[in-house]
Amino acid sequence: MRVVYYSVDQDHARWIPGLQAALPQAEVSLWAPGAPPADYAVVWKPPQQLLDEQPGLKALFNTGAGVDALLQLRLPAGLPVIRLDDAGMSVQMAEYVCHAVIRHFREFDGYEADMAHGKWSFRKPRSRLDYPVGILGLGVLGERVARSVAQFDFPVNGWSRSPKTLPGVQSFAGADQLDAFLAASRIVVCLLPLTPDTRDLLNAQRLARIRPGGYVINVARGAHVVDADLLAALDSGHLAGATLDVFRTEPLPAGHPFWQHPRITVTPHTSARTLRSESIAQIAGKIGALQRGEPVAGKVDPSRGY
């Protein structure tokens, strides 16, 4: 069995020995143009040439949860595409989002600013009931985030394509219930996959539906948010702030207004990193299962885009 690895991040020096150790029966190598035919490819943002030159792949493993970049390519019809299925990401996402929610709710940003001036000044306690948290996307990551936020007794709403039953989470489903979801939420967390249906979802009209004094946390993809509309909603006072981990162009270009905005917190696409050991163990386990003809979790449906 032959496995090829390719990542735009050029991190093969660690991945290939890891995959080789987890798959001793396989020959694991870095993909390069002209590489011999492989059974499986493990990739992050590969070039079209890899797919064109490897028509005999049995499956394509994506070393991330989001497959938006992969689905831009021409994929052989019927090729199974398998995304990372948590692999240590959901706990990181829960940490990040709970931190951002609590930092805003408890006004830690204000205390940080006070500290710079040696100022001792309590803020009045806020009521959690005034800060319902809405999670857009209740999949592998969104569900874990919703459960974690609910543990801090915030009211939690969730929006997905299909209705969900999750303890402590009010479920909203489908395009028809998006407005009601936004109107019921003050802190809105985006954990959707980027698809034609979800691109530009947080535009001026939708941001206006969030409760006044709202707060946006985008940890999915930059193109879910219309940058100029977010800035306008902040500058009008409708939104109180935003924490953004993902951007239309990454790295976020120097001079982009998000960098200097006093009510935006920027982090460098780090809310849930791919953890190499966990990911290799998961992918190797799935290659073994596929070889034995067993089903695997995390298969992408290209017609849905996730």
Contact partner, 248, from ligand NAP, ligand GLV, none, Cβ < 5-8 Å per class: none
Q: Between residues 65 and 233, which has the closer beta carbon with respect to ligand GLV?
A: 65
Stretch that binds ligand NAP, among 21-29, 140-148, 231-239, 277-285 (CB under 6 A): 140-148
Helix crossing, 108-116 with 89-105: angle to 10°? Answer: 60
Query: Measured from the CB of residue 71, what is the shortest distance to ligand NAP in angstroms?
Result: 11
- Across-strand partners of 187? 133, 215
Using CB under 6 A as the binding rule, the residues of this chain from 144 to 173 that contact ligand NAP are: 159-162
Q: Using H for helix, E for strand and C for coil, what is the string for the chain?
A: CEEEEEECCCCHHHHHHHHHHHCCCCEEEECCCCCCCCCEEEEECCCHHHHHHCCCCCEEEECCCCCCCHHHCCCCCCCCEECCCCCCHHHHHHHHHHHHHHHHHCCHHHHHHHHHCCCCCCCCCCCHHHCCEEEECCCHHHHHHHHHHHCCCCCEEEEECCCCCECCEEEEECHHHHHHHHHCCCEEEECCCCCCCCCCCECHHHHHHCCCCEEEEECCCHHHECHHHHHHHHHCCCEEEEEECCCCCCCCCCCCHHHHCCCEEECCCCCCCCCHHHHHHHHHHHHHHHHCCCCCCCECCCCCCC
Mark whether 269 is an active-site residue.
yes
Closest CA to 222 of 262, 253, 263: 253
Residues 92-131 that bind ligand NAP (CB under 6 A): none
Q: Which of 142, 155, 214, 241 binds ligand NAP (CB under 6 A)?
A: 142
Q: Identify whether the C-beta of residue 24 lies closer than 8 Å to the C-beta of residue 280.
A: no
Rank residues 103 and 144 by Cβ distance to ligand NAP and give the closer one: 144
**Least distance between ligand GLV and beta carbon 93 (Å):** 10
The residue among 189 and 234 lying less far from ligand NAP, judged by its C-beta, is 189
Measured from the CB of residue 2, what is the shortest distance to ligand NAP in angstroms?
28
- Which of 18, 137, 214, 241 is the binder for ligand NAP (CB under 6 A)? 137
Under the binding rule (CB under 6 A), the answer on residue 134 touching ligand NAP is: no
Q: How far is the CB of 89 from ligand NAP (least distance, A)?
A: 5
Smallest gap from residue 142 Cβ to ligand NAP (A): 5
User: What is the x/- site pattern for ligand GLV, positions 55-74, by CB under 6 A?
Assistant: ---------xxx--------
Say whether residue 298 binds ligand NAP (CB under 6 A). no
Which position among 221, 224, 263, 276 bears the catalytic label? 221
The C-alpha atoms of residue 207 and residue 226 are separated, in whole angstroms, by 10
Chain residues 236-295 in contact with ligand NAP, contact rule CB under 6 A: 245-246, 269, 271-272
Nearest residue by C-beta to ligand GLV?
64
Contact (Cβ atoms closer than 8 angstroms) between residue 132 and residue 120? no
Catalytic residue among 209, 238, 269, 276: 269
Sole binder of ligand NAP in the list 18, 66, 214, 241 (CB under 6 A): 66
Which residues pair with residue 265 across a beta bridge? 243
185 touches ligand NAP by CB under 6 A: no
Query: Given the rule CB under 6 A, which residues bind ligand NAP?
Result: 65-66, 89, 137-142, 159-162, 191-195, 197-198, 219-221, 245-246, 269, 271-272, 306
What residues are labeled active site?
A: 221, 269
Binding footprint of ligand GLV on the chain (CB under 6 A): 64-66, 274
